[in-house]
Chain A
Amino acid sequence: MSEPEVQIQTGAPEPAAAAEPRRLVLNMGPQHPATHGVLRLVLELDGETIRSAAPHIGFLHTGIEKEFEQKTWQQAVTLTDRVDYLAPLSNNLCYCLAVEKLLGLEIPPMAQWMRVMLTELTRLNSHLVWLGSHALDIGAMTVFLYCFREREDILRIFEIFSGQRMMTSYFRVGGLALEPPRGWHAAIGKFIDAFPGRVDEYEDLLTENPIWLRRTRGIAHVSLEDLLDLGVTGPMLRAAGLKWDIRKAQPYSSYDKFDFEVPVRTESDVYARYKLRVEEMRQSARIVGQALEGMPSGPHVADAAKVVLPDREKMKTQIEALIHHFKIITEGFRVPAGEVYQVIESPRGELGYYVVSDGTARPYRVHMRTPSFANLQCVPKMIEGGLIADVVAALGSLDFVLGDVDR
């Protein structure tokens, strides 16, 4: 039974009824560079100590869940990109896996491996933006420039694959949107060979930097029990000592065929989260390397004529292919009635898609359990009792994306 905990407050003890404590209410955001989007925090301060904090969200709400109900199943893939715009492929993947589960589709090995490889590149992309902006928030500007240099390489790879840098929509229900382009192997190979050295560069700048250590060590500590109770997942949880990663616990899309470690740390402070995500980057690079070496050959879409668009050549020679093309384009495919809750490990934690079908060509209801929304609930717990100067470090260590929060 978890009782609401008494806050341990630093600084001067609470004055008794005699003197009214001087409290200052400070509004932080929604337009604040360190909130990475439009998060509004209302902080109640006693000197430099935060007595209470209340996050306000919703400034970026665009009604994506409502919009899902207006699209066909395949069209809706494009909406998933826009939820978490730093990890679009993770969202593509989770939605596609959910719908494929309802359809009972078997995805060919090449498409599964390709999905793993690109999702891991997405994790690198997301972690690079996180590391760069987190370091910038705390005052280390160089790291930001280094991280965005590598991120640019990743975005170029995405562009080779899908023609888009950010809103890729490269995974579709039934497989991949397009056959992998010529030259993808060399492009990723070049990047992944250089990448571990680049991570060393970031670590040279930060890991033993005394300023970085003093700004991050012991800051924003939250206990594992609190994190679980508040629904926090992902690197936050692993930095508090719980070795739990959905890629290992409930493998999807042939993650069980890859050899990688799940890093864990126990300190549960900003520094532990930094070290953990850096280690995750190294592991993701390992996975991409393995995918590159062992990539199976074969088709990039499932053998399901009623779901996957036919080959252009077949359309010109076979009447069935033409009919399927016409039906899929004009009406979309139908998905058997039912419901499914698919979870994957996104860069930020547990990403869940709850998809309900009523047997028609459009989703009846799609709910996104986004990791940022759940993780943001622990902000008061992280910063109450701490100093105002640490708020930015604490928020950075949470790694949220407001698009992911507000949907």
Chain B
Amino acid sequence: MLSERLRQFPVAAALEAWNPGAVVGGSSNLAELTLEIAPANILEVCRFLKHQHNFVRLSDLTAVDWRPLEPRFEVVYHLHCLERNERLRLKCRLGEPAEIDSVTGVWRSADWYEREVWDLFGIRFRLHPDLQRILMPEGWAGHPLRKDYPVHGHRYDYQERED
């Protein structure tokens, strides 16, 4: 359920009217609107926002690890509508094992962003066309941007890869 204040935003109101279960919360601080989406609905919400509300660009996709809070991960989408020059942030909270639908079918630009989030946070994107590591080497163990991943004292053995 959205607060009265958030219903003032046409996008938030439209999204709630379209599927009341999809929006589980939101906030508006520093002139930036954030909507929290139920992870199961993310794909259809993105499709709805792109086609009905002209959010033609996915500006950014990333994640935040809130360990030890539960659910641990937050996947963050930054959408942009060129026509109205409007930006919107979507968030999905995910527990472990973290898995969410890929939005590559909506914006092709999501491809590398989702690979990056998989690489650095270990969040899986269902139905992603090619979910492999992108920044770290292929044989790497662990996901460096998780909060329990050490900054110091990590040793990597440069062993021959088996190809």
Interface residues of A (CB under 8 A from B): 1-2, 57-58, 61, 63, 65-67, 70, 101-102, 228-232, 242, 244, 249-250, 338-341, 343, 350, 352, 354, 356, 364-365, 367, 369, 373-374, 376-377, 406-407
For A406, give the chain B residue with the smallest CB separation.
B135
Known: A102-B30, A244-B82, A354-B60. A230 touches B108 (CB 8 A): yes
B78 surroundings in chain A (CB, below 8 A): 341, 352, 354, 369
Most-contacted residue by chain A among B32, B51, B62 (CB, 10 A) = B62
Q: By the criterion CB–CB under 8 Å, are A57 and B58 in contact?
A: no
Q: By the criterion CB–CB under 8 Å, are A61 and B107 in contact?
A: no
Taking A58-B137, A229-B107 as known contacts, 14 extra A-B pairs with beta carbons closer than 8 A to each other, sorted by chain A number, are A1-B51, A58-B135, A66-B144, A101-B30, A228-B56, A229-B56, A231-B57, A232-B109, A339-B29, A341-B59, A341-B78, A354-B60, A367-B60, A406-B135
Q: By the criterion CB–CB under 8 Å, are B59 and A350 in contact?
A: yes
For B147, give the chain A residue with the smallest CB separation.
A69
Q: By the criterion CB–CB under 8 Å, are A369 and B59 in contact?
A: yes
Interface residues of B (CB under 8 A from A): 29-30, 32, 34, 51, 56-60, 62, 64-65, 76, 78, 82, 85, 87, 89, 107-109, 111-112, 120, 133-137, 144-145, 149, 151
Most-contacted residue by chain A among B29, B59, B82, B144 (CB, 10 A) = B59
Q: By the criterion CB–CB under 8 Å, are B136 and A231 in contact?
A: no
Q: By the criterion CB–CB under 8 Å, are A58 and B136 in contact?
A: yes
Q: Which of A350, A365, A373 contacts B112 (CB 8 A)?
A: A373
Q: Can you list 14 A-B pairs, Cβ within 8 angstroms, ordered by A?
A: A57-B135, A58-B133, A66-B149, A231-B58, A242-B82, A250-B85, A340-B32, A352-B60, A354-B78, A367-B62, A369-B59, A369-B60, A369-B78, A406-B135
A407 surroundings in chain B (CB, below 8 A): 135
Smallest CB-CB A-B distances: 7 pairs = A231-B109, A369-B60, A58-B135, A61-B135, A367-B62, A365-B64, A229-B108
Q: By the criterion CB–CB under 8 Å, are B62 and A354 in contact?
A: yes
Taking the nearest CB of chain B, how far is it from the CB of A114, in angstroms? 24
B137 surroundings in chain A (CB, below 8 A): 58
Taking the nearest CB of chain B, how far is it from the CB of A39, in angstroms? 13
For B129, give the chain A residue with the smallest CB separation.
A4
B111 surroundings in chain A (CB, below 8 A): 377
B57 surroundings in chain A (CB, below 8 A): 228, 231
A352 surroundings in chain B (CB, below 8 A): 59-60, 78
B32 surroundings in chain A (CB, below 8 A): 339-341
Taking the nearest CB of chain A, how far is it from the CB of B107, in angstroms? 6
Taking the nearest CB of chain B, how far is it from the CB of A65, in angstroms? 6
Q: By the criterion CB–CB under 8 Å, are B30 and A356 in contact?
A: no
B89 surroundings in chain A (CB, below 8 A): 341
For A246, give the chain B residue with the smallest CB separation.
B85
B56 surroundings in chain A (CB, below 8 A): 228-229
Q: By the criterion CB–CB under 8 Å, are B109 and A377 in contact?
A: yes
Taking the nearest CB of chain A, how far is it from the CB of B74, in angstroms? 9
Known: A228-B56, A341-B78. A65 touches B134 (CB 8 A): no
A369 surroundings in chain B (CB, below 8 A): 59-60, 62, 78
B65 surroundings in chain A (CB, below 8 A): 365
Known: A352-B78, A406-B135. A343 touches B51 (CB 8 A): no
Taking the nearest CB of chain A, how far is it from the CB of B116, in angstroms? 8
For B109, give the chain A residue with the smallest CB separation.
A231
For A340, give the chain B residue with the smallest CB separation.
B30
Taking the nearest CB of chain A, how far is it from the CB of B140, in angstroms? 10
For B85, give the chain A residue with the smallest CB separation.
A249
Q: By the criterion CB–CB under 8 Å, are B136 and A61 in contact?
A: yes
Taking the nearest CB of chain B, how far is it from the CB of A51, in angstroms? 18
Q: By the criterion CB–CB under 8 Å, are B107 and A231 in contact?
A: yes
B144 surroundings in chain A (CB, below 8 A): 63, 66
For B76, give the chain A residue with the smallest CB separation.
A354
In the bound complex, how far is the Cα of B83 from the Cα of A214, in angstroms? 36
For A67, give the chain B residue with the smallest CB separation.
B151
For A376, give the chain B residue with the smallest CB separation.
B112
For B116, give the chain A residue with the smallest CB separation.
A373
B151 surroundings in chain A (CB, below 8 A): 66-67, 70
In the bound complex, how far is the Cα of B29 from the Cα of A242, in angstroms? 30
For A226, give the chain B residue with the smallest CB separation.
B108
In the bound complex, how far is the Cα of B136 from the Cα of A365, in angstroms? 19
A1 surroundings in chain B (CB, below 8 A): 51
